[in-house]
Amino acid sequence: MAQQYSASDHIWTNARIATLDPAIGTEYGLLNNHALVVRDGRIVALAPCCDPDLASFPGELTDCQGGLITPGFIDCHTHLIYGGNRAADFVQRMRGVPYQEIARAGGGILSTVKATRALSEEQLFLKARPRLLALMHEGCTTVEIKSGYGLTVRDELKMLRVARRLGRELAVRVVATLLAAHAVPPEYRGRGDAYVDLICAELIPRVAAEGLADAVDVFCETIAFTVKQAERLLASAREHGLGIKMHAEQLSASGSAALAASYGAWSADHLEYLDEDGLVAMRASGTVATLLPGALYFLRESRTPPVAKLREYGIRMALATDLNPGTSPFASIRLMMNMGCLLLGLTPEEALAAVTRNAAAALGCGDRLGSLAVGKEADLLLWNLEDPAQLLCEIGIGTPSRRVVRGEAGDA
């Protein structure tokens, strides 16, 4: 039966389409000399340009002139709302002071907490906006933004309201994550359990009721929260219908990845110390492994996530910037693809899947974002490039000539 098109449809024609759809069966899911049809913000057809059904297409037409179309990029782990800077931490690390020691001495996360608390909602918005625009300029159409630099009810809510405002006012999807369990605040020093009580009793129910967050994240680590404390937080998140993410196995082996998987987490992130139990649990749950090479690079860590094992176990791998002031101050998803290949050993195809298809799964939206297939939302990028691998080997060269979000042009 012939496909029926209307004057309100939009066709992107004469394109090479890197669908990132495994069902296509080609590298990058590449379709040459194809057209993509969008209706009401969704993809309704992918067809060869010679398809007779397209001959009398009545809607809007964009001739891509042989250009490359990819899915919109997804940065599935950022901390881009914050005050101040951490240049002093950087100087200390260059003098040989370990990150954990800086954090325990009041630097690290807690120094950013102090600076963030001092700013109004409007000031935080104005500081975060250019960081998000930088990601959009490179092709991000979806960005996850965490709280975690407030550590009081008032300041965590302030950060999440800024995240929601960024998503309303800019042409980008924002997934907001409550990371109140980022560090034990100074007011609760030595009373981590009491702070967890506050998050579970007040913050999680409130952000769920007000729609301020899509997920809850926990930093489970020796300098942050124990596995037992993390489990209480995950149970509360699940009880209130929020997605689950976890900062897991970054600085030590704790069993946090297996815990996250047992709660059906969308992703476990970092994973430098991931062990066999964690691998087994993540495979069973479908939890995505989000790798953050920017932090590895900036902290000069020699231990890397077990990429070969993740492949062996069939665990999907995402890449993200981890954009934050202290350990990964990089607003470049393309740089992360490059680092994913050079530092972690991903193939170029794996790296591109890691910021599209798998990154969507790491945000619980793999059913509607991350690849170009019929029925999915039309988030796409048009590039004047010959090879998809150029996206991750030519850093700082070229930006998308068109950036489309929900079927509409949304240039940064």
Same fold? 10-72+370-409, 73-361: no
Is 10-72+370-409 CATH 3.40.50.2300? no
Q: According to CATH, what is the number of the domain 73-361?
A: 3.20.20.140
pLDDT of residue 388: 97
Q: Please state, in angstroms and rounded to a whole number, the distance separating the CA atoms of residues 68 and 30.
A: 10
At 374-402, the pLDDT tens digits run 999 999 999 999 999 999 999 998 899 99
The answer to whether residue 335 scores a pLDDT higher than 60 is yes
At 12-68, the pLDDT tens digits run 999 999 999 999 999 999 999 999 999 999 999 999 999 988 988 999 999 999 999
At 65-93, the pLDDT tens digits run 999 999 999 999 999 999 999 998 899 88
CB atoms within 10 A of CB 198: 16
- Residue 157: which residues within 8 A CB-CB, separation 6 or more? 150, 203, 206, 207, 212
At 216-242, the pLDDT tens digits run 999 999 889 999 999 999 999 999 999
Sheet holding 317-319, edge to edge: 73-75, 140-146, 173-181, 215-218, 243-248, 267-270, 288-291, 317-319
- DSSP, res 278: H
pLDDT of residue 109: 85
- Between 108-117 and 87-94, two packed helices, what is the crossing angle to 10 degrees? 170
- By percentage, how much of the chain surpasses pLDDT 70? 99
**What is the 3 state secondary structure string of 311-379?**
HHCCCCEEECCCCECCCECCCCHHHHHHHHHHCCCCCHHHHHHHCCHHHHHCCCCCCCCCCCCCCCECC
The answer to whether residue 305 scores a pLDDT higher than 80 is yes
Tell me the pTM: 0.97
pLDDT of residue 93: 87
Average pLDDT, integer, range 118-144: 98
Q: Please state, in angstroms and rounded to a whole number, the distance separating the CA atoms of residues 312 and 363.
A: 23
Residue 121 tokens read as: 């909602």
Average pLDDT, integer, range 213-218: 98
pLDDT of residue 1: 42
- Structural domain boundaries in the chain: 10-72+370-409, 73-361
Cβ(241)–Cβ(214) below 8 Å: no
Cβ(246)–Cβ(218) below 8 Å: yes
Cβ(348)–Cβ(334) below 8 Å: no
- Tokens 């699940």 appear where? 238
Q: Please state, in angstroms and rounded to a whole number, the distance separating the CA atoms of residues 260 and 333.
A: 25
At 258-275, the pLDDT tens digits run 999 999 999 999 999 999
pLDDT band at 2 (very low <50, low <70, confident <90, very high): low
DSSP annotation string for 283-314: HHHT-EEEE-HHHHHHTT------HHHHHHTT
